[in-house]
Chains A and B, each alone.
Chain A
Amino acid sequence: MNFNVDVFWAALSSWAFFKGALITLALAVVSHATAIAISVPMAVVIRGRPSLLRGSITAYIGFFRAAPTLLLLLFVWNALPQFIPIFRQAWFTPFLAAWIALALNEAAYQVEINRSALQAVDAGQTAAGEALGLTRFHVLRYVVLPQAARIAVAPTVNEFITLLKITSLASVISLQELMTVTQVTVARTFQFTEHYAAALIYYLAMVYALMAVQKRIEKSFSWANRAAATKDTPAIAVPVQR
């Protein structure tokens, strides 16, 4: 076996790989952020009384958990413009198509995480909030969500790591993310090992960085931990989904 270190370094330090990795990361971040923004209200509704909206959300979750991500990507990129003319215009890029497909898909998974996190908050917390005369929205916003957020951190970061790797599927709709760049380069040079290794290094670096972020977030929930709880590290502010 020969491994050309120079080729490996050249790939690793190339603008093309760096840009590919940035697109991968950006796609994962915006898709997951969108998914979280959609899925928090969905999780709240799904825990409420039966309604048409709740039924629709249940159907949504079932559908998008069942549909293969690859199929969704191809559908949004190729089929959507066929029956909705607005998507035929130049602004509809592979990045946007991937964002839509991955966000819709991810929201279906994230809503289950949110639902179980909400469920895990003790019912006595809601009772205490309601007994104080807080409205249902205030109880949710200031009492339940901050506690549910702590429970949701680990599975949510897990989901994000999975999503980061799933973005490579967007190579089928010609998005120039990390795996597309790698495959194009390999097809041209036939230097498989060096370029795969460079791509792998990028993925590993991104995931390890994420795990460090997870640790920091978990530390900010120090109120749950008797030894670590101090006023100096206040509980993290929960992003309000509107």
Chain B
Amino acid sequence: MSMIEFSQVGKSFGAFQALTDVSLKVEAGERVVVCGPSGSGKSTLIRCVNGLERHDSGRIQVNGIELTESASALLKIRRDVGMVFQQFNLFPHLTAIENCILAPKKALGMSDADARDLARKYLDRVRILNQADKYPVQLSGGQQQRVAIARALCMNPKAMLFDEPTSALDPEMIGEVLDVMIDLAQSGMTMICVTHEMSFARRVADRVVFVDHGRIVETASPEDFFQSPKTDRAKAFIKQVLHG
């Protein structure tokens, strides 16, 4: 059983076809990087995994649970899958540690003390424990994104989704977030990561999935993808990302 499985998934926003016939299997422990030009549907793809966008056709299964209209299936999947956003989306009215304990307490019924212990463990792992009582507005972008990763990890997810986690960061902060992600990848976490960080893809990805116009155009190992892309569109894209 795959951790995440898409079978012929389609999704449209009105007349715009965002995803067409997307089939993808991600096994437990696998790290998949999704890349493609802007507007290609890669964010929509990753947001379909936990039902933030609902697919119109095809099937999506996560950890053996099919993503349907059922609210309980949706909650189960979301509690199994962590997500990190481009804009961090930390809750601004809560401190870093309060951001981390909200879902374990409310969604898993964990006690405050247990949730705080867990939160401290993960804040420490992303090396930001010393800022636990700060509000998001007081943290830099890189710090906020690391708190967001800790917040997702506090639900003990079986897989993590990253939606362009470094695209909104100043260049000098990209490294600290990538380090945390590499550390996570090396610990065996199942990951789908939408990113243009080709160094990250080269270093940790098992597979690169290239998306264009809502379709998976090419799937390959990082070496093959970067050195000998098969399609013209992938060639053009790599040229832009590497030299753009």
- A-side interface residues toward B, CB under 8 Å? 122, 124-125, 127-135, 138, 142-143, 146-147, 150, 221, 223-226, 229, 231, 235
- From known contacts A138-B106, A225-B137, A235-B93, infer whether A131 and B87 are also in contact, taking CB-CB under 8 Å: no
Whether, in the assembled complex, B65 has its beta carbon less than 8 Å from a beta carbon of chain A, the answer is: no
The residues in B between 171 and 197 inclusive whose CB is less than 8 angstroms from any CB of A are none
Interface string of B80-100 (1 = CB under 8 A from A): 011101010111111100000
A103 to chain B, nearest CB (A): 29
* Known pairs A132-B83, A142-B91, A223-B135 / 10 extra A-B pairs, C-beta < 8 Å: A124-B85, A127-B52, A128-B90, A131-B52, A132-B102, A132-B151, A133-B107, A135-B75, A221-B93, A223-B136
Q: List 11 A-B contacts (CB under 8 A).
A: A122-B87, A125-B89, A128-B85, A128-B91, A130-B52, A132-B151, A132-B155, A134-B106, A143-B91, A223-B136, A231-B133
Whether, in the assembled complex, B231 has its beta carbon less than 8 Å from a beta carbon of chain A, the answer is: no
Nearest to B107 among chain A residues (CB) is A133
CA distance A147 to B81 in the complex (A): 25
Whether, in the assembled complex, B121 has its beta carbon less than 8 Å from a beta carbon of chain A, the answer is: no
A133 to chain B, nearest CB (A): 4
Which among B89, B103, B133 is the interface contact of A134 at CB below 8 angstroms?
B103
CA distance A129 to B83 in the complex (A): 10
Q: Contact: B83 with A131, CB < 8 Å?
A: yes
Nearest to B90 among chain A residues (CB) is A128
CA distance A128 to B78 in the complex (A): 11
Q: Contact: B95 with A134, CB < 8 Å?
A: no
B85 to chain A, nearest CB (A): 6
CA distance A155 to B138 in the complex (A): 27
CA distance A191 to B79 in the complex (A): 72
Whether, in the assembled complex, B115 has its beta carbon less than 8 Å from a beta carbon of chain A, the answer is: no
By a CB distance below 8 angstroms, the chain B residues around A129 are 91, 103
- From known contacts A133-B79, A135-B75, infer whether A128 and B107 are also in contact, taking CB-CB under 8 Å: no
CA distance A127 to B78 in the complex (A): 11
Which among A122, A142, A221, A231 is the interface contact of B106 at CB below 8 angstroms?
A142
CA distance A127 to B44 in the complex (A): 13
CA distance A221 to B148 in the complex (A): 22
By a CB distance below 8 angstroms, the chain A residues around B106 are 134-135, 138, 142
Nearest to B52 among chain A residues (CB) is A127
Q: Contact: B91 with A125, CB < 8 Å?
A: yes
Interface string of B195-232 (1 = CB under 8 A from A): 00000000000000000000000000000000000000
CA distance A147 to B134 in the complex (A): 17
By a CB distance below 8 angstroms, the chain A residues around B78 are 130-133
By a CB distance below 8 angstroms, the chain A residues around B79 are 132-133
Which among B87, B92, B152 is the interface contact of A224 at CB below 8 angstroms?
B92
Q: Contact: A134 with B138, CB < 8 Å?
A: no
Which among A128, A133, A225 is the interface contact of B89 at CB below 8 angstroms?
A128
By a CB distance below 8 angstroms, the chain A residues around B133 are 231
A147 to chain B, nearest CB (A): 6
Q: Contact: B137 with A224, CB < 8 Å?
A: yes
Whether, in the assembled complex, B50 has its beta carbon less than 8 Å from a beta carbon of chain A, the answer is: yes
CA distance A133 to B75 in the complex (A): 5
Q: Contact: B107 with A229, CB < 8 Å?
A: no
By a CB distance below 8 angstroms, the chain A residues around B92 are 147, 223-224
The residues in B between 116 and 162 inclusive whose CB is less than 8 angstroms from any CB of A are 133-138, 148, 151-152, 155
B238 to chain A, nearest CB (A): 30
Q: Contact: B103 with A132, CB < 8 Å?
A: yes
CA distance A224 to B107 in the complex (A): 26
